[in-house]
Chain A
Amino acid sequence: MLLNKDNSTIQDSFKRFCRNEGYVPYVLNVLIVLTILLLFVYPLIYGILSSFYTDGQISSENYSRLFSDRNFWNALWVTFLYVFLYTAGIMFIGFVTALAIDVGEERQLPGSRLFSSFLTLPYAIPDVVGSLIWLWMMNPRRGIINYLLSFIGVEGLNWLTSGNLALISVVLVGIWRLFPMHTLIILAAFKTIPKDLYEAADLDGASTLQQFFFITLPSIANIMKFLVLLTVVWSFKRFTIIWLLTRGGPMHATETLAILIYKEAFKFFDRGYASAIAVILLLIVGTVSLIYMRLGSKGESEGGVI
C-alpha cells in the first residue's frame, strides 16, 4: 500500500515534470556538463592522483621532495614577484590611460577618440608574435631599444639575459599585450559615474582633486577591487610570453610555477613531480579565487564579474 502510494507520487511528479517540460533546463545543459566533466574535472582529478604516484607506487615522495627543492621555492618566490609586479603595473598603466582618455573625451580634445579606436590593437597580436617582436627589439646588440637608449647614454642593456632585468622585461611585455583590456574596463567604470555628482560637487566648491578622491575613486572602487583580484588570478596563467622570452632563465630568474611545471613534465619527464607542483599551484590559485568569489557574492549587484 505504502509502496504503491509512494510509487504513484513519484510517477505523478515525474508526469508533472514532463508535462511542464521541467526537464528543459537540464537538457539544455547536457553538453556543457559533459564538456566540464570530461575536459576539466577528469583531467584535474587525474593530475591530483598522479601527484601521489612515484614509479607506479603510491607515495608522498613527490611532496616531500618539494620541501628540499630549491628550484621549487625559487619558483614560488618568482611567481609572487611576477604576480605582484604584473598586477600593479597593469592596473597603474590601465588606470592612467583610461583617465587620460576619459578626460580627453570629456573635453573633446581632438585625437582622443582616434586613440581609443586603436587602443585594443595588441589584443589582435598573438602572444607568440608579440613575444618575438619584443625579443627582436630587446636584442642586446642589434635591437632597436638599445639603439635608441644609446642616445641618452644607456649602453648595452641585457634585457633578457641579466638576472635583475629579465623579470621586469617579461612583466612589461605581458603588460603591453593586455593592458588595453584593463583600460577599456576602467574606462567603462568611469562612464558609470553619474555626471550630476560632479555638478553638485562643483556647486559646493570642491576642487578637482577633491572630486577625484571623493567621487571618482570611491565610485569605481568596487570594480577596481574585482579587477585587481581577477588580474591576480589570471596572472598565474601566463606562460607563453615568459617561455618564449626567457624559458625561465637566466639562472631561474623568471621561472614561475607554470614554467617549472612545464619543465619538470616535458624537459625532465618527471610528470609525477610536475603534478605535485601543479597541486600546490592549484591550492594557491584556489585560495585567491575563493577570496574573489566571497567578495563576488557580497557585492553581486555591483557588477557580476567573471
Chain B
Amino acid sequence: MPDKKRFNFSKLGIYAILIIMAVVIVFPIYWMLLTTFQPTSQATAYPPALFFQSFSFDKLQEVLVQTNVLKWIVNSFIVAFGVVVVNLLVSVPAAYSMARYKIRFNKILLFAVLITQMIPPAIMVVPLFEIFASVGLNNKLLSLILADSILTLPIGTWILIGFFENIPKEIEEAAIMDGASKMMLFYRISLPLTYPAMVTVAILTFFDAWNEYMYAYTFITDQAKWVGTVGVASFMGQFLTDWQAVMASSLIFSVLPMTIYIFLRKYIVRGVSEGFAK
C-alpha cells in the first residue's frame, strides 16, 4: 500500500490537540484584550462575560495619560536598541573570526561564549549590582544595556557563526585573487552578505532586552528611569489591584514586540530553528 499515511492517528485526535493548544496559546492574549477594551463595570464583573459586550477605550486612555507608562516604554526602547547595537558590534566580527579561522584561540573563545549562556542571571545580579554601584552606573540605563548585552551575546554569536559558515568559500577566494586583504574579506565581502542574519539576531536580541526584568528591577530605583517591565509590574499589588489598569498597561507594553512578531515572524522562526539544529 504505497499511499498509506505515516501515522494512523485519527483526524479527530490531531484536531483535538491543535485546537486545545491554540486555545491555550491565544486565550490569555484574548483575555488581556477583553479586559482592557470593555467598560470598567463589565471588565471586572463577576461572573465575567466571555465575549465583548461593548467597547471602551477609557481605561487605555486613562493609563496612557495618568501614568508614566509611555516614558517607561521609551526607556525600554533605549535599552533594547542599545543592546542590539552593542551585540551586533561585538558578535558580528567575532562570529566571522570563529567561522573562518579554526584556530585554537577561537575554539576556547567559543567555549567561553557558550558558558556565559548557561549561567543563571541570578548568579550575576549581586556582583553586577555592586560593581555598577561602585562605578556610579546605578540608576543609569547604560547599566542595563551592559548587563543585558552579555545575556544575549551567545545566541547572536551562534546564529551568525552558522550563517558565516554557510557563505561559500569561493566568493572569498575570488576576492583573494584580486588582492583583497583579510580585513577587506570580512568588511567588503562577507559582511554585506550577513544582513539577513543580522536582522534575525537584532530581533531576538531586541525581544530578550525588552523582556528583561530582574536586572531592571534591581539596578534602577528611580521611577522616572524605570523600563516597561518594571513599570508594568508595579501596577500590581499596590493596595487593591486595578486589574483593568494592569491589563491595559500590559497591552501597551506588548504592542511593539507583537507588531514586530506579526511582520517579521519568519526571521524569528528561522533564528530559532537555525540556531538549534543547523
User: A and B: real partners?
Assistant: yes
Q: Which of A4-60 contact B (CB under 8 A)?
A: 21, 24-29, 31-33, 35-36, 39-40, 42-44, 46-47, 50
Which B residues are CB-close (under 8 A) to A147?
46-48
Which among A111, A132, A262, A305 is the interface contact of B233 at CB below 8 angstroms?
A132
Q: Which of A233-247 contact B (CB under 8 A)?
A: 233, 236-237, 239-240, 243-244
CA A292 – CA B118 in complex, angstroms? Answer: 10
Give the residue among B97, B129, B149, B232 with the most A Cβ atoms within 10 A: B97
Which among B111, B129, B157 is the interface contact of A32 at CB below 8 angstroms?
B157
CA A235 – CA B158 in complex, angstroms? Answer: 20
CA A305 – CA B261 in complex, angstroms? Answer: 24
CA A123 – CA B7 in complex, angstroms? Answer: 30
Which B residues are CB-close (under 8 A) to A35?
90, 149-150, 153
Chain A min CB distance to B267 (Å): 11
CA A121 – CA B11 in complex, angstroms? Answer: 25
Which B residues are CB-close (under 8 A) to A137?
28, 31
Which A residues are CB-close (under 8 A) to B105?
25-26, 29
User: Closest residue of chain B to A257, judged by CB?
Assistant: B122
- With A103-B6, A129-B32 as given contacts, are A285 and B119 in contact (CB-CB < 8 Å)? yes
Whether A184 contacts B272 by the Cβ 8 Å rule is: yes
Whether A109 contacts B233 by the Cβ 8 Å rule is: no
CA A236 – CA B119 in complex, angstroms? Answer: 8
CA A223 – CA B213 in complex, angstroms? Answer: 30
Which among B100, B125, B154, B211 is the interface contact of A126 at CB below 8 angstroms?
B211
Which of A64-72, A153-161, A162-170, A273-281 contacts its partner? A273-281
Which A residues are CB-close (under 8 A) to B269?
120, 184
User: Is B193 an interface residue when CB atoms closer than 8 A count as contact?
Assistant: no
User: Is A217 an interface residue when CB atoms closer than 8 A count as contact?
Assistant: no
- With A29-B109, A124-B254, A285-B120 as given contacts, are A136 and B276 in contact (CB-CB < 8 Å)? no
Which B residues are CB-close (under 8 A) to A221?
none
Which B residues are CB-close (under 8 A) to A278?
122-123, 126
Which among B9, B94, B122 is the interface contact of A258 at CB below 8 angstroms?
B122
Q: What sequence of 0s and 1s flags, for each residue 243-278 of chain B, a beta carbon within 8 Å of any chain A beta carbon?
A: 100110010011001101100010011001101111
Question: Size class of A's contact patch?
Answer: 35 or more
Give the residue among A136, A198, A257 with the most B Cβ atoms within 10 A: A136
User: Is A295 an interface residue when CB atoms closer than 8 A count as contact?
Assistant: no
- With A35-B153, A118-B26, A271-B130 as given contacts, are A124 and B257 in contact (CB-CB < 8 Å)? yes
Whether B106 contacts A29 by the Cβ 8 Å rule is: yes
Which among A189, A265, A282 is the interface contact of B125 at CB below 8 angstroms?
A265
Whether B18 contacts A188 by the Cβ 8 Å rule is: no
Which among B149, B211, B261 is the interface contact of A121 at CB below 8 angstroms?
B261
User: Is B207 an interface residue when CB atoms closer than 8 A count as contact?
Assistant: yes
User: Closest residue of chain A to B276, judged by CB?
Assistant: A185
Which among A31, A96, A117 is the interface contact of B17 at CB below 8 angstroms?
A96
Which B residues are CB-close (under 8 A) to A303?
276-278
CA A205 – CA B36 in complex, angstroms? Answer: 57
Which A residues are CB-close (under 8 A) to B233?
128, 131-132, 244
Chain A min CB distance to B127 (Å): 4
Whether B25 contacts A132 by the Cβ 8 Å rule is: no
User: Is A127 an interface residue when CB atoms closer than 8 A count as contact?
Assistant: yes
Chain A min CB distance to B9 (Å): 6
Whether B117 contacts A306 by the Cβ 8 Å rule is: yes
User: Closest residue of chain B to A45, judged by CB?
Assistant: B127
Which B residues are CB-close (under 8 A) to A262?
122, 125, 214
Chain A min CB distance to B216 (Å): 10
Which among A99, A135, A199, A282 is the interface contact of B236 at CB below 8 angstroms?
A135
A residues contacting B by CB (< 8 A) are 21, 24-29, 31-33, 35-36, 39-40, 42-44, 46-47, 50, 93, 96-97, 99-101, 103-104, 106-107, 109, 111-112, 115, 117-137, 139, 141-142, 144, 147, 176, 180-181, 184-185, 187-189, 192, 198-199, 202, 208, 211-212, 223, 233, 236-237, 239-240, 243-244, 257-259, 261-262, 265-266, 271, 274-275, 278, 281-282, 285-286, 289, 292-293, 303-306
6 interchain pairs, CB-CB under 8 A: A29-B93, A40-B119, A43-B128, A122-B25, A239-B214, A278-B122
Q: A35-B90, A120-B268, A211-B6 are in contact. List 14 more A-B contacts (CB 8 A).
A: A25-B97, A25-B100, A103-B7, A106-B7, A107-B5, A109-B11, A118-B22, A124-B257, A133-B29, A136-B31, A185-B277, A223-B277, A275-B126, A303-B278
